[in-house]
Amino acid sequence: MPKNDNMLAILWMLNSGGIITAKQMSEKLEINIRTVYRYIDALCASGVPILSDSGHNGGYSLLNHFIKAPLLFDLEEKKALLHGATFAKEAGYPMSEALDNAVAKLRMYSNQEQENTLSRHLAGFEVINRVGPPSAQPVLAELEQAVAGEFAVEIDYRTGREEHPKTRVIDPYGMVYWNNKWYTVGYCHLKNEIRSFRADRILAIRRTQVNFKRAEDFSAREFFMQNLLPDPGGTEGLISVIIEGRAEALDDLCLNWYLGHHLKERTSGQAVFVLEEEYLLRYIPHLLLAYGKSIQVIEPQSLKAKLATVAADLMEYYQL
């Protein structure tokens, strides 16, 4: 019998619920007892929780009828899943109870040695994130159901510029987690176009009986990023921004969610960005002022002049 068939047969023997010895397995399979030991070691290495009892009535058994679990994970896969669960919980994953149950099952179907190893890895692994409002959890859970079930929802939504919320009906096509916040991307019946909505600004959400069909090739992530960081259509209106300074300050600028998208060249003491003129003087001066004297704008002159104007305005404001 091939090796894989023998290992599967051993797995079914162990699933009988009782204790079985290596000798009994070797006799049933008509293979050498040392081969049985090798197969058992291989099963343990793949994540199967096999218990070993020594003594006169000892033998091998399977922890908690493990065969009922539909998937077998090795130790590295279990560690990766538990680490991933840590990230998800800190990001405000909406189905935290189901996530906790899944984590508990991963631990349950682990032998003592695996459990000890997993505990050591998790003990030194922490994720710190901003704590979102508790009210966002039921909103995220309802949005997830709406995305999967393809049904429209009615929301009371307040933008950052509005004092009072507006009621909208949206077809949620997907959910996106970006920059410590959850968003949903979908078709807005009020504006008759696809838009993105911050989940923490949805004050109430209600299911509707209206169904929709999402295009198979639609990507909520691509739509969100394209609207967040649109690619310029050509070179017209683009200006090169040359900044010199300390390496750590330049590194930080290059990692900025906006500037990093427009990085053209990076050397040891200089970074070159290509930006649209429309945004250059509106947003960039306020961003660069936070770096103080650790950086210096070399070009363009218009940006240097705008920085001086903004700094002078701030000085005048605080001298009043």
Residues 320, 317: Cα–Cα separation, whole Å: 6
List Cβ neighbours of 205 (8 Å cut-off, separation of 6 or more): 138, 139, 142, 143, 153, 154, 155, 156
Please give the class, per CATH, of domain 3-68: mainly alpha
Longest dimension (CA), the chain: 94
Q: Where are the domains of the chain?
A: 3-68, 75-123, 136-227, 238-319
CATH number of 238-319: 3.30.70
Contact 183, 176 (CB under 8 A): yes
pLDDT 10s per residue in the chain (320 long)?
A: 677 788 888 888 887 777 889 899 999 888 999 999 999 888 888 778 888 888 777 888 887 656 555 556 788 888 898 899 888 888 888 888 888 888 887 777 777 888 888 888 888 888 887 776 777 788 999 999 999 999 999 999 998 777 889 999 999 999 999 888 899 999 999 999 999 999 999 999 999 999 999 999 999 999 998 888 766 555 567 899 999 999 999 999 999 988 988 899 999 899 999 988 877 888 899 999 999 999 999 999 999 999 999 999 999 988 86
What is the Cα–Cα distance from 185 to 180, expressed in whole angstroms? 16
| H or E stretch at 316 | helix 301-319
The span from the CA of 172 to the CA of 195, in Å, is: 9
**This model's pTM is above 0.85:** no
Give the three-class secondary structure for 281. Answer: helix
pLDDT at 182: 92
What local confidence, expressed as pLDDT, does residue 248 receive?
94
Residue 176 phi/psi, 5-degree rounding, is -130, 135
Using CA atoms, how far apart are residues 47 and 212, in angstroms rounded to an integer? 42
Give me the pLDDT at residue 227, please: 86
CA R_g for the chain: 29
Which of 2.30.30, 1.20.120, 3.30.300, 1.10.20 is the CATH number of 136-227? 2.30.30
